[in-house]
Amino acid sequence: MDAGIDIPSRISPSWWDEDHPSTRKAAVAGASASAVPGTTVDRVACAGRVRWPAVAAACAVACVAWAVVPYRAIIPPQIEADYCYQLIAADRCYKGLGLTSLQPVAPNQPWEWQYEWGFLTQWPIGYPLLICCVRVLSGCSTLAAAQWLAVAACGLAVVGWFAFVRRMLPSGPASVLVSTAAALTSLEAGSMLNPSTDTLLAGSLPFVLLAVLAAMERGRAGAADSTHDGTLSGAGDRDMVDRTAAWRFTWCGLLAGGLFWLRYASLFVPAGVGAYVAWMAWRRRGVRRIDVAVFALGAFVPIAALILVNHAFAAGGSLQSGLNLGSSVRWAFSPRLVASAWWVLTDLGYYDYRPQVHVVLAAAPMALVGGGVLVRPVRRAAVAAMRSAGSGLGLAVLLSLLALLVCSTALFGDKYDYVGLERYYLPVRPIYVALLAAPALFLRRRLLSMAVCAVAIMAASWTMRHDWHRTWVRWAAADRATAPSGAWAQAFEPGAGELLARLQERLGDDVILFSNFHDYLAVELGVAAYPLPPDRSTAQRWIGGIAAARNRPVEQCRALFVIDGDNRWRDYYLPSPVDVVERLGLTPICDGATAVQGRLWEFAPAPYADTG
């Protein structure tokens, strides 16, 4: 064994133990007796079992800390388009109207009116249900409930990832600093402010992984306790151990599959964990085939349940459209997708004004592989790092996410470039940071550990002081306009509040709203709104369908168009507002209010007699 390499003694038994429990005891005892720091194997333990009461207390403290951040109360949150539909579903569920929302619109995808309100399938219903539950318990608004969930998720993410990364590293102050820096990479500046299922996933994932590690370690420990000198003390004891282990893996599967109710993209979690557990069973490292089977069954149940619920209540369409995966399927894989995914994953944001920092972070794993081939101590350190608790599990989950994003883009890339969306990588970035730092810590060189400490301090400081604090200060100083819901008024400014008030006065069952920001209007007004039709004949067809859905004669309906003169961030796929007005022959509505002028139009003179 190379001098100075730290191979932990309290690692996941599935990696370190031989099949016979006494083998591990003898190996550890012999190594401990002969260990001389700096000259032979110095076995410094990784963090032991998770102390769940301490973790719960830390989560409570972290949640309170996030809740009292001064900027949280003065910065209006940003609602992204995807979350408009989910907040609408949560609001309607709270009012007893079911988990229904508008028919979603995606950039550069064909859209035809099908229904006014339909069961939400394009996004999982778990998030709207959570928001509704918070509203019931607290009596707050839908947006406030979403923000409280974000605060709780931030607290869980910081504590959970710290605890999990500690299981991947040897004990010592350097690993504490690395774990802190790694945990912070799972969040963004807006995580505590904005509605987001990414934050919920970042807060939930580490606890699922910790539960899996606990199931593996306790199952192995239970088997060892019921064995003496290789002989079972009793069939009943072994049966009890087997049943207990099976139940633990079942619950782990339910937790991993249950994330599907928050994010469809969370499929990478049961896939990665399942692959790791199956590998451990194949290698006979403390996991039995029955454990793999019950984990797979546990993960399958919530996933299948949600798919069946969607199928039963969906307003129509295929499974692909119901899961918001666009309208076409093709296989367009290329190495560029893998390179793009890796580039986005490794963009940790550190010193982003210096591009060479990102290059180093992206190339570091390749350098480690090369060093492992050429330099024996580096190879030994890398092997020791992979034997630490959680490293194999974390690597499997990380690779599973990369595979999911690459395959999704290859199959459904006509809808969106999934590998290029940074927020998909946030839940696994702590794993990447830990895997990057682990070999250096296992080398057990004092100067190298000091260098790792310095880098970790710089990374954590950059995240908190630059990425978060400066961004919060800038947002607070920007004095963002606030919509009636309390959200950032991103459209129809200046005068969004006045415009919405005027629209509220005109609303009725006879009014049909169209807009280039229809989803934001629906959130603020609580009524159905629709995207801009491409031409008069399409507008006529949609209006007729909407009137029929409302059981009203089409002649009694008025089509109002609320058009922001600037398409803003949607300019790349929406037609020019001027072209829309000319193409549809819209007539302006003037009531003397400045906020209404040039923004409120009517489909005139008699659209219901006009066939286009």
Per residue in 184-226, pLDDT (tens digit) is 999 999 999 999 999 999 999 999 999 999 988 876 655 555 5
Say if residue 327's pLDDT is above 80: no
Q: What is the pLDDT of residue 219?
A: 60
Q: Pairing between strand 529-530 and 511-515?
A: parallel
Mean pLDDT of 8-13: 38
What is the chain's mean pLDDT, rounded?
Answer: 83
Share above pLDDT 70 across residues of the chain, in percent, rounded to a whole number: 84
pTM score, two decimals?
0.86
Please state, in angstroms and rounded to a whole number, the distance separating the CA atoms of residues 553 and 501.
27
Mean pLDDT of 83-99: 96
Burial 357-374 (b: 16+ CB within 10 A, else e): bbeebbebeeebeebbee
Place of tokens 């009943």: 236
Which has the higher per-residue pLDDT, 420 or 322? 420
The sign one gets for the Cα dihedral 85, 89, 92, 94 is negative
At 91, which amino acid appears? D
* H helix runs in 346-463, sequence order: 355-374, 376-386, 391-412, 429-442, 446-461
Say if residue 19's pLDDT is above 60: no
Residue 101: left if φ>0, alpha if ψ -120 to 50, beta else—which one? beta
Mean pLDDT of 161-174: 90
**pLDDT tens string 494-541:** 888 889 998 998 888 889 999 999 999 999 999 999 999 999 999 999
Among 499, 520, 606, residue whose Cα is nearest residue 557:
606
Please state, in angstroms and rounded to a whole number, the distance separating the CA atoms of residues 375 and 366.
14
Torsion angles phi and psi, residue 51, rounded to 5 = -90, 95
Say if residue 100's pLDDT is above 90: yes
Say if residue 373's pLDDT is above 70: no
Q: Which helix (H) or strand (E) holds 321?
A: helix 319-322
Give the pLDDT band (50/70/90) at residue 14: very low
DSSP string, 153-186: HHHHHHHHHHHHHHHHSBSSHHHHHHHHHHHHTT
Please state, in angstroms and rounded to a whole number, the distance separating the CA atoms of residues 24 and 467.
45
Among 236, 225, 72, 50, residue whose Cα is nearest residue 144:
72
Query: How is the beta sheet containing 600-603 ordered, strand by strand?
Result: 529-530, 511-515, 558-562, 600-603, 586-588
* H helix runs in 35-77, sequence order: 52-67
Which has the higher per-residue pLDDT, 47 or 447? 447
Dig out the tokens for 4 from the structure.
Answer: 């100075």
What's the chain's Rg over C-alpha atoms? 28
- 212 by Cβ neighbours in 10 Å (0-12 / 13-18 / 19+) ranks as buried
Place of tokens 């012999």: 30
Give the pLDDT band (50/70/90) at residue 372: low
Place of tokens 């330099």: 375
**pLDDT tens string 224-254:** 555 544 554 555 556 666 678 889 999 999 9
Among 219, 207, 211, residue whose Cα is nearest residue 284:
219
SS3 category, 529: strand
Contacts 24+ apart (CB under 8 A), 89-96: 89/120, 89/125, 89/128, 90/127, 90/128, 90/129, 90/131, 90/132, 90/135, 90/142, 90/145, 90/146, 91/142, 91/526, 92/117, 93/128, 93/129, 93/132, 94/132, 94/135, 94/136, 94/142
**pLDDT tens string 119-166:** 999 999 999 999 999 999 999 999 999 999 999 999 999 999 999 999
Q: How far is CA 196 from CA 101, 103, 148, 321, in A?
A: 17, 20, 11, 22
Q: What is the pLDDT of residue 360?
A: 87
